[in-house]
Amino acid sequence: MRRTSRMTTTPIRATTPAAGGESKNQGTAVIVGASLAGLMTGVALARIGVRVTMLERSRALPRSGAALGGVDEQMLQRITGTAHPDNATAGRSVAAGVQSWMAVHARLRAAVDADPRIEIRPRTTVRAVGQDADAAWGITTDRQTFRADVVIGADGHRSVVRASVAPGKPDATFAGYLIWLGLTGEPALRPTRRFPRDVDILDSDDGILLGYPLPGPGGLTAPGSRQIGWAWYDAGHNDLLREKGSVVGNVVRRSLAPDDIPEATFHELADKARALWPAPWRDAILDCIDRRAVLGTPIAEYVPDRLVNGRLALVGDAAHVPTPMTGSGFGASLHDAESIATAVGKAMDATPMAQALRGYEKERLRSVRRMVQAGQQFSRSFARAAA
């Protein structure tokens, strides 16, 4: 039998001595989900003295593939306390503000691992959350209960915490298209033309393509040593998504893994890539198709009406899901992390937690709603044009 570990409820006003003899309140937080938004929030909370337990469904391995555009490096440095690993060369032959998802994850994970106030529990799936006047808690599928002063849902677009924060609107909805994603390396390719430095956005009657060079292994950014990522927006395979259970009703369930993608679809994509996309992006796409290293991610959207309920709160994609075309989901998650840490800090200074969290909602709700709504205009016209 596995040992049940419980985080004790530390009263929010309990005090522990802080450096310099100053008295500093200490609180506790449970964060559901230890991906980018969860890691950022964990670091921001630990920095103000909160003890954080992070519950993460998957093993400690990061997922690969996607790139993050519009990364606010200064803000990321402020939260992680670490500089960009390839600061010296960044920006020379990869576009400024574009970083690989894995590199950002690694930096955040290193910041979390270095902080003794944060504990991460992998392979721990939360099935429900609850609260009373004194505490909030998460209950896992193996019946452990983790209690704390605040429970924060950073559990992505299919959030279970959202059902308790916004019971009237628990689900993100399918935007009507998917993105085919691939990642390859310049050294393995023999492109017929050189890859550019910047993000390329190509539009055709049959889709939109984003191509982007990323730093290669070890942060190398010289042409010839970079990674090449691409994202192909496609509204023509919604039947496949439904057939495979990736989209059920109006709700996105999961991405298409390479094994889910029929051979006929790979052939069709290869033919279309040859017809639609110019070199060198076509070369990168065909390489990924040849290796069957392609993911199909159905796009979800969520415009929030609420971000908090009592001692429960949402950050990141659990709180708001814009189309990736906005390039703003990660940046919004950074702001969420800073803002919720400020709110919890106020609770540590005697403001009741529910009131402090309402301050977080007040600060963030309007701008994240606008962010998602701006992307919905793109989604509607893209899905309609391709239907």
Ligand X SMILES: Cc1cc2nc3c(=O)[nH]c(=O)nc-3n(C[C@H](O)[C@H](O)[C@H](O)COP(=O)(O)OP(=O)(O)OC[C@H]3O[C@@H](n4cnc5c(N)ncnc54)[C@H](O)[C@@H]3O)c2cc1C
183: helix, strand or coil: strand
Q: Is there binding between residue 32 and ligand X (CB under 6 A)?
A: yes
| Listed ranges 68-76, 245-253, 259-267, 356-364: which one lies at the site for ligand X (CB under 6 A) | 68-76
Number of residues located near ligand X, criterion CB under 6 A: 34
Closer CB to ligand X, 123 or 194, in the complex: 123
Per CB under 6 A, does 130 bind ligand X? no
Quick check: 42 binds ligand X (CB under 6 A)?
A: no
Sketch the per residue contact string, 310 through 329, with ligand X: x for CB under 6 A, - otherwise.
------xxx-----x--xxx
Binding characters for ligand X, 179-198, by CB under 6 A (x = yes): x-x-----------------
Dihedral, CA atoms, 100, 204, 381, 307, nearest 10 degrees? 0
User: Encoding tokens for residue 248?
Assistant: 């059920």
Cβ 317 to ligand X, closest distance in Å?
Answer: 4
Site for ligand X in 330-359 (CB under 6 A): 330-331, 333
Contact of 65 with 228, CB cutoff 8 Å: no
- CB–CB of 45/154 below 8 Å? no
Q: Is residue 216 a contact residue for ligand X (CB under 6 A)? A: no
Taking the C-alpha atoms of residue 315 and residue 327, their distance in angstroms, rounded to an integer, is: 17
Q: Which of 25, 28, 35, 80 binds ligand X (CB under 6 A)?
A: 35
Residue 42 or 310: the one with the smaller Cβ distance to ligand X is 42
Site for ligand X in 234-293 (CB under 6 A): none
| Residue 20, CA distances (Å) to 24, 58, 346, 349 in order | 10, 39, 21, 18
Please list every residue from 131 through 150 that binds ligand X, using CB under 6 A: none
DSSP state of 35: S
Q: Which two tokens stand for residue 202?
A: 């190509």
DSSP string, 280-335: THHHHHHHHHHTT-EEEEEEEEB--S-SEETTEEE-GGGT-B--GGG--HHHHHHH
Is residue 211 near ligand X by the rule CB under 6 A?
no
Residues that bind ligand X (CB under 6 A): 32-38, 55-58, 66, 68-70, 125-126, 154-156, 160, 179, 181, 297, 316-318, 324, 327-331, 333
